Amino acid sequence: MEKQSLLDFLLVPGGLLALVAYHIWLLRQVINHPTTTVIGINSINRRLWVHAMMDHDHDLSRNNNNGVLAVQTLRNNIMASTLLASTAIMLSSVIAVLMTHSTGGYRPSSTLFFGDTGDRMLTIKFFFILVCFIVTFLLNVQSIRYYNHVGILINVPCKNINLNHWTKAEYVGRTLNRGSYFWSLGLRSFYFTLPLFLWVFGPIPMFISSLSLLSLLYFLDVTTPPEIQSSAAAA
């Protein structure tokens, strides 16, 4: 049993540290080199989108059309956040039920599963999965909160307000980016539940899934800067 527990103490922290180290590196890339990441490029384009939606105060017909387009776009984002939040809270309830029935219930066979298969370790595994889903729910709720703020702010005219257009658009753009960041973090916490789920079957599947998830996230997060793409196409 001690050798089996040793696998949990070695492989599980190793897999989690690899994921944490990757996201620290990703955060530095987003801050210092935003055009090399999908998150950074999307953040820049969202700010430009806000300026485009709010840049027609002189043309009432175009301004109304932009207002409808902005609200519909934000509604789609709110629906996506609501779906993730609802799924997370539902799965949290399922995990809570499994935790309460784990003792004396489901116990993996030591001949098929590696690592510690005791009731205490199984409860710890379910607890981490539960925490991950609760964090997902809270992050998506915050995302909905910011999207709702943007839905009102983006249609407020600058006339008769002691605030110039550029300052107002920048504030709305930052608010929209905050909502998107919370949504991205909620989606990341969903990703983190995959290794934690596989941890139920042992530390080896958990470690392998962590490395596989790391490779997938790198493929999804990193992109070639636009200036490099244009020079390569010209060549």
Average pLDDT (22-49) is 92
Residue 12 lies in a domain: no
Average pLDDT (5-29) is 89
The total number of structural domains in the chain stands at 1
Residue 124 lies in a domain: yes
Residue 98 lies in a domain: yes
Average pLDDT (56-72) is 64
Average pLDDT (53-69) is 64
Average pLDDT (122-138) is 89
pLDDT of residue 97: 77
pLDDT of residue 53: 84
- Cα separation, 84 vs 47, in Å, equals 24
Residue 13 lies in a domain: no
Token pair recorded at residue 37: 């990441």
Residue 153 lies in a domain: yes
pLDDT of residue 168: 82
Residue 95 lies in a domain: yes
- Cα separation, 133 vs 49, in Å, equals 31
Q: Which residues lie closer than 8 Å to 86 by C-beta, 6 or more apart?
A: none
Token pair recorded at residue 209: 């899934």
Residue 137 lies in a domain: yes
Concatenating the DSSP letter of every residue in 2-69 gives HHHHHHHHHHHHHHHHHHHHHHHHHHHHHHH-GGGBHHHHHHHHHHHHHHHHTS-TT-HHHHHHHHHH
Concatenating the DSSP letter of every residue in 107-119 gives ---TTT--S--SH
Residue 206 lies in a domain: no
- Cα separation, 61 vs 63, in Å, equals 5
Token pair recorded at residue 146: 């910011």
**For residue 157, is pLDDT > 90?**
no
101: containing domain: 46-106+113-201
Give the pLDDT confidence of 94-110 residue by residue, as tens digits.
887 777 665 555 555 55
Distance of CA 118 to the CA centre of its chain: 32
**For residue 119, is pLDDT > 50?**
yes
**How does residue 4 score in pLDDT terms, banded at 50, 70 and 90?**
low
Buried b (16+ CB within 10 A) or exposed e, 12-49: beebbebbeebbeebeebbeeebebbebbbebeebbeb
pLDDT of residue 63: 53
**How does residue 64 score in pLDDT terms, banded at 50, 70 and 90?**
low
Buried b (16+ CB within 10 A) or exposed e, 124-156: ebbebbbebbbbbbbbbbbbbebbebbbebbbe
pLDDT of residue 57: 52
Give the pLDDT confidence of 176-223 residue by residue, as tens digits.
999 999 999 999 999 999 999 888 888 888 999 999 999 999 999 998
Q: Is 222 helix (H, G, I), strand (E, B) or coil?
A: strand
- Cα separation, 86 vs 82, in Å, equals 6
